[in-house]
Amino acid sequence: MKQPDEFWWRHGVFYQIYPRSFQDSNGDGVGDLRGIIERLPYLVSLGIDAIWLSPIFPSPMADFGYDIADYTGIDPLFGTMADFDALIAAAHDGGLKLILDLVPNHTSDQHPWFLESRRSRDNPKRDWYIWRDPNAAGGPPNNWLSEFGGSAWQYDAATGQYYYHAFLAQQPDLNWRNPEVRHAIHEVMRFWLRKGVDGFRVDVIWHLIKDAEFRDNPPNPSFREGRPPHEQILPLRTTDQVEVHDAIAEMRRVIDEFPARVLIGEIYLPTERLVTYYGRELGGAHLPFNFALLSAPWNARAIEKIIHDYEAALPQGAWPNWVLGNHDRPRVASRVGQDQARVATMLLLTLRGTPTLYYGDEIGMHQVAIAPGQVRDPFEKNVPGIGVGRDGCRTPMQWDAGRFAGFSTSTPWLPLSDDFVHENVVNLQADARSILNLYKALIGLRSNLPELMIGSYVPVAAQGDLLIYRRQSEVDALVIALNLGDQPTSISSEAAALRGEILISTFLDRRGEKIKDTVDLRGNEGVIIGVLGAQPG
Ligand code: GLC
């Protein structure tokens, strides 16, 4: 029997699907599992290797599925377990891996565990959550703040105690210091792993353990008005506690009970803290998500420094990864502009390490403006008007120019972008030089060229708007030259050994062009050059 490739996640390209917004199959305006099955041929045609689904489990949807009421079921909105089984079989048939979202930090307040826990102080599940007495004045136990606004403590009059919730009050945090909780979540993991899922993206993994003594968080001296209120304190006691690494190592051991599965962690931390999540002797997450590009100032020096610092901080043997967008952050096309989005794509798909794409970025989807009456995101509802809303990056996928963009036969749960008549999969597929075809071409190159897949990263230059680096295998090298500005520029061989041939331009119109000593770049252009006679570095 053929052994599964244990390290597929190093070589593959991941693609995040936000299931509510990908494809609706039953006309209720919300995407579902059958819809994803219908669109598998599209995903295969992109050339990606794995899909990650945001949560599909039974949920009151207070945080659109990140509030789970049953870890081993499927929410009827998304379909049935039979649909899930059909999806995993079809994905695997198409050569795609399937990654689920695991949300172990908190449950829904409607989860049977929490319903029991809140029943009485001596309920056997009381300690599965984080309950504390009021402070001396009768207020919350300490100054911890919820990421979605207000105190992180919710008073429960029936039992006279507060429970902790890092996010909504409807999302009580589980007590990860309790071994029964750990065991229960491990069993959840095994349930899905036995079904054949190829791994998990673990939600807010750096939050799992909180300070054992419940000490206050210190004030944040750099807090600025206009920022989300929870940033007034530094989450020193509520996140990134040293004991979290033991909890993650245990999860990893569960993953390792099954061949060729992957553990990805959602972690927003500075690089030097982030890389500790690979774990002692790499026994933590295989891929602690690297979100550095999500907030990168869009200039060559800043980006080169981000790459350099990350590469330098990686523990021996740790595999890098990069992300340009997700369901919590503004779309890349809006952050860097439509023109630079192509350059950003070339960056993402030519850096060393596993890239994760966000659905719709491949067709250049931008942030969609959400009118006040259309807001669905609880973060925006609780903390209105300062731009934290996440609805604008979660709008329906734009498949075609038909009514509702081919996403649904009825009004979608979030508004469609008003440019969908042009900016849609059908149109962009037909346009040989579209961003969609750029994505496909870059993914294709990446999976065919060992330099891109596993070659080393060698910085070359970061001057003005120009970012240049090499990707090098034992025999061959590529030069990637990105113009992060809108003015033309040229690079001479003094800056980089360039003799060779253009393999691809972000405009998809220079393939095969020979390069001798200089290469001229148009504004907003990036190129990959296959260089001749490259010396292994
Ligand atoms: C993660 C999810 C986000 C969710 C939060 C609480 O950050 O990505 O969407 O709101 O966790 O579960």
User: 19 alpha carbon to ligand 1 midpoint, in Å?
Assistant: 15
Q: Supply the pLDDT for residue 269.
A: 98
Atom 12, ligand 1: residue with shortest CA distance: 66
532 has a pLDDT exceeding 50: yes
For residue 63, the ligand 1 atom closest to its alpha carbon is 10
Give the residue from 351, 330, 301, 350 showing the smallest Cα distance to 467: 301
Judged on CB neighbours under 10 Å (0-12, 13-18, 19+), 212 is: exposed
Task: Say if residue 123 is in the same domain as residue 238.
Answer: yes
- 406 token code pair: 């081919």
2 confidence band (pLDDT: 50, 70, 90): low
3-class state of residue 219 by DSSP = strand
Catalytic residue among 257, 281, 509, 520, which? 257
> Distance between CA 510 and CA 527 in Å, rounded?
9
CATH number for position 33: 3.20.20.80
Which amino acid is located at 217 in the chain?
N
Q: Supply the pLDDT for residue 45.
A: 98
Best residue among 204, 208, 264, 267 to mutate for probing ligand 1's pocket (most ligand atoms within 8 Å of CB) is: 204
Is position 2 within any domain?
A: no
How many beta carbons lie within 10 A of that of residue 490, not counting itself? Answer: 12
User: 247 alpha carbon to ligand 1 midpoint, in Å?
Assistant: 19
114 has a pLDDT exceeding 60: yes
Q: Pick from 395, 420, 443: which residue ends a domain?
A: 443
Q: Pick from 422, 443, 464: which residue ends a domain?
A: 443
332 has a pLDDT exceeding 70: yes
| 513 is known as an active-site residue | no
Q: Supply the pLDDT for residue 281.
A: 98
> Distance between CA 68 and CA 51 in Å, rounded?
20
DSSP for 325-347, written as a single string: --TTS--HHHHH-HHHHHHHHHH
User: 265 alpha carbon to ligand 1 midpoint, in Å?
Assistant: 12
CATH number for position 483: 2.60.40.1180
pLDDT by residue (tens digit) across 432-454? 999 999 999 999 999 999 999 99
Q: Supply the pLDDT for residue 534.
A: 53
Is position 1 within any domain?
A: no
Which amino acid is located at 466 in the chain?
L
> Residues 6 or more apart from 418 whose CB is under 8 A from it?
none
Task: Say if residue 301 is in the same domain as residue 430.
Answer: yes
Most confident option among 457-466, 493-502, 525-534: 457-466
Task: Say if residue 237 is in the same domain as residue 146.
Answer: yes
Task: Say if residue 307 is in the same domain as residue 438.
Answer: yes
Torsion of CA 44, 46, 50, 51, to 10 degrees: -90
Atom 3, ligand 1: residue with shortest CA distance: 328
Q: Supply the pLDDT for residue 533.
A: 65
Task: Say if residue 325 is in the same domain as residue 236.
Answer: no
Distance (Å) of CA 180 to CA 88, 126, 164, 185, 453: 29, 12, 18, 9, 41
CATH number for position 181: 3.90.400.10
104 confidence band (pLDDT: 50, 70, 90): very high
| 203 is known as an active-site residue | yes
* Interval 36-61 mean pLDDT: 98
Is position 399 within any domain?
A: yes
Average pLDDT, whole number, for the chain? Answer: 97
> Distance between CA 404 and CA 307 in Å, rounded?
40
Task: Say if residue 59 is in the same domain as residue 138.
Answer: no
23 has a pLDDT exceeding 50: yes
- 411 token code pair: 């009004």
Across 141-270, the runs of DSSP E, i.e. the strands, are 153-156, 161-164, 199-202, 262-265
Task: Say if residue 76 is in the same domain as residue 12.
Answer: yes
Q: Which residues on adjacent β-strands are paired with residue 78?
A: none
User: 388 alpha carbon to ligand 1 midpoint, in Å?
Assistant: 13
> Distance between CA 291 and CA 278 in Å, rounded?
15
Is position 448 within any domain?
A: no
11 has a pLDDT exceeding 80: yes
Is position 25 within any domain?
A: yes
Residues flanking ligand 1, CB < 6 Å: 63, 66, 103, 167, 203-204, 266, 327-328
Across 103-165, the runs of DSSP E, i.e. the strands, are 131-132, 153-156, 161-164
Is position 525 within any domain?
A: yes
pLDDT by residue (tens digit) across 198-221? 999 999 999 999 999 999 999 999
Best residue among 52, 66, 71, 206 to mutate for probing ligand 1's pocket (most ligand atoms within 8 Å of CB) is: 66
Is position 403 within any domain?
A: yes
User: 327 alpha carbon to ligand 1 midpoint, in Å?
Assistant: 9
Task: Say if residue 168 is in the same domain as residue 101.
Answer: no
Q: Please check whether residue 517 is in contact with residue 498, taking contact to mean a CB–CB distance below 8 angstroms.
A: yes
> Distance between CA 297 and CA 336 in Å, rounded?
9
Q: Pick from 410, 443, 476: which residue ends a domain?
A: 443
pLDDT by residue (tens digit) across 491-522? 987 767 889 999 999 999 999 999 998 999 99
> Distance between CA 357 and CA 153 in Å, rounded?
35
> Distance between CA 223 and CA 229 in Å, rounded?
9
Q: How many domains does the chain have?
A: 3
How many Cα atoms within 13 Å fall on the side-chain side of residue 398?
Answer: 26
DSSP for 433-496, written as a single string: TSHHHHHHHHHHHHHH-HHHHHPEEEEEEEETTEEEEEEE-SS-EEEEEEE-SSS-EEEETTTS
pTM of whole model > 0.95? yes
Q: Please check whether residue 293 is in contact with residue 274, taking contact to mean a CB–CB distance below 8 angstroms.
A: no
Query: Which residue range(s) make up the domain with 236?
Result: 108-197+208-254
> Distance between CA 479 and CA 469 in Å, rounded?
6
pLDDT by residue (tens digit) across 143-169? 999 999 999 999 999 999 999 999 999
Q: Which residues on adjacent β-strands are paired with residue 357?
A: 15
Is position 404 within any domain?
A: yes
3-class state of residue 507 by DSSP = coil
Task: Say if residue 374 is in the same domain as residue 486.
Answer: no
Task: Say if residue 308 is in the same domain as residue 435.
Answer: yes
Task: Say if residue 141 is in the same domain as residue 250.
Answer: yes
pLDDT by residue (tens digit) across 254-299? 999 999 999 999 999 999 999 999 999 999 999 999 999 999 999 9
For residue 168, the ligand 1 atom closest to its alpha carbon is 6
Q: HEC profile for 36-74?
A: HHHCHHHHHHHCCCEEEECCCCCCCCCCCCCCCCCCCCC
Task: Say if residue 93 is in the same domain as residue 114.
Answer: no
403 has a pLDDT exceeding 50: yes
1 has a pLDDT exceeding 50: no
